[in-house]
Chains A and B, each alone.
Chain A
Amino acid sequence: MKRWPYFILIFWLAAVMLSYAMDLQPDHINLENVLALPRADAWLGNDDLGRNIVARLLAGAGVSMFVALLVTSVSLTVGTLIGLVAGYFGGWIDRVLMQVTDVFLAFPGILLAIAFAAVLGPGLDNLLLALCMTSWVGYARLTRAQALSLRHRQHVLAAESLGAPVGRIMRKHILPLLAAPLVVEATYSIAGLVIAEASLSFLGLGIQAPHASWGSMLKDGVRYLLVAPHYVLAVGFSLMSLVLAINVLGDQLRDAWDIARAE
């Protein structure tokens, strides 16, 4: 019973890979099937241009996971580095870096990513850039707080007095102790980025037509909500299942490793 998040994640991964292998033609327009209901050859029906919703849903899932994983790996690396430097060296470097993160955190939720994406212009590249520019902050704060306390642990002091170089101390003596909270944070952030990508695409700032994205599908779906509710429902429940599975996975990891979540 506790394993259901894994089943959902494996389901989505397998389905996306299968859809690439089978080449479902998510962009194929068929105006005879506009907003058609679910049936045997189109399990979830068709969208406003008669495109197969299952095919587009899986293409959108692929984009969503690609964006979430790429942005998480970039921002995790950058954020951890910044946090390590700030927490380890302290002093003015720390003050300047934390002031910068304070400013970034003054923009609630996805607002700053919306602003960046708005001026950079729509498209996948700029979407990735906008999300990377805003996602590193959480990791930087988390790492900095932890590094600040770890810095004075005995094993770090011992390594220092034996003359270990800074890079080695960070890599061998501080980073391993940070791994668990960072992985938990990254898990939540993947779920958050799935939502963020969909939000930006929903606002027309992310993935552009004709390419499928859960956000742009929801945007189209809302327009035809009252005549073809199956469209919105299909996309909404897909998104929800993925985000829920990742969040529960994060909760399980956090409980297993006994980590108090940094707010």
Chain B
Amino acid sequence: MIKRLLGVVPVVFGVLLLTFLLVHLVPGDPVEVMLGESAPMADRAKLRAELGLDQPLVAQFGHYLQNLAQGDFGRSIHTRKPIAESLKERIPATAALALLSLLIAVIIGLPLGIAAALRAGKWPDNFATILSLSLSAMPHFWLGPLLMLLFGLWLGVLPVSGMSDNLSILLPAMTLGFGLAAILTRMTRTSLLEVLHEDFVRTARAKGMNEQQVILRHALRAALLPIVTVLGLQLGGLLAGAVITETVFGWEGVGRLLVESIEKRDYPVTQACVLVIALTYVMVNLLTDLLYARLDPRIRFAG
């Protein structure tokens, strides 16, 4: 466990270095790209000094780390607002979206996966297979509009975009959640099928336990372990998917902020958003691993 914790350090350092270097990948002069060719020399020099681009690379990276350690992400070039403030405004929206879609995925994926495993080869299994195959071929920018058409235009029951309505979150959350549900269904099915052949399940049945208890109390409990890991890994995919989904639905989260900053060539904001998403992903993965170790008695007691 200590090893896992220490292993995160070089990864976080690498993530910081790579996001720092992003601005230096801009072909030509980043200040000119951000301000436009017609910007007066004085403005350029000011921005160059503000971003520290007139200093040696190592010193720049040092400042970057120092500022980040104090929670200072710099300022937006366009709005002049501290980026940390914009992030603080946007993170709750993305977090709400991610959690609701996770919930939707579990509500759909878990029962469907269990049904598919218990009736392997029969119609619930075939249905789950076809559904998860089709969903895996539907990127968010296609599933999203499809749900908009279905619930917004044809059924007319849900608001199509924006954040004005309490129900506005439902369509983007479904867009993100359905894709995850597909993965979860397949995982649950595979994992449960494997466990059903284990000795302890046979023992439970041999004791005369009723089938429902065998499945719920013994098999599912063991099968859930790998599922937890997959959910943790997929939460990262969810964060990346949020970039697209928030753009489709005009949901004002971190993903939308990222895309807006790219459109305006506001590189400090782009950098900050990419960094926040990547670090969240690294932390979620770490927590998943630690949780996994807690949940699995084989790892817990092996120490």
A residues in contact (CB < 8 Å) with B: 99-100, 102-104, 106-112, 114-116, 118-121, 191, 195, 198-199, 202-205, 215, 218-219, 221-222, 225-226, 229, 232-233, 235-236, 239-240, 243-244, 247-248, 263
Contact = CB atoms under 8 A, between A and B. Distances in A.
Contacts of B142: 218, 232, 235-236, 239-240
Nearest to B16: A103
Contacts of B243: 110-111, 114, 203
Interface in B219-264: 233, 236-237, 239-241, 243-244, 247-248, 258-259, 262-263
B23 A119 contact: yes
A107 B278 contact: yes
B236 A108 contact: yes
Given A116-B25, A198-B139, A203-B247, 6 more contacts: A99-B11, A103-B17, A107-B278, A108-B278, A199-B139, A244-B133
A233 B205 CA distance: 50
B274 interface: yes
B153 interface: yes
A221 B23 CA distance: 32
How many chain B residues sit at the interface, stated as a range, is 35 or more
B18 A103 contact: yes
Given A118-B262, A119-B22, A119-B270, A110 B240 contact: yes
6 pairs of A and B residues whose beta carbons are closest in the complex: A109-B240, A103-B14, A108-B236, A244-B137, A243-B137, A236-B142
B277 A108 contact: yes
Contact of A121 (B11, B27, B145): B27
Contact of B237 (A108, A191, A239, A240): A108
B278 A111 contact: yes
A103 B22 CA distance: 14
Contact of A103 (B15, B247, B258, B262): B15
B55 interface: no
B139 A195 contact: yes
Nearest to B7: A102
B10 interface: yes
A35 B18 CA distance: 44
Given A99-B10, A109-B236, A236 B278 contact: no
B216 interface: no
Nearest to B15: A106
A203 B137 contact: no
Contacts of A205: 262
B141 A215 contact: yes
B168 interface: no
B282 interface: yes
A102 B160 CA distance: 38
A222 B133 CA distance: 24
Contacts of A199: 139, 141, 244
B27 to A, nearest CB: 7
Interface string B10-43: 1100110111001101110000010000000000
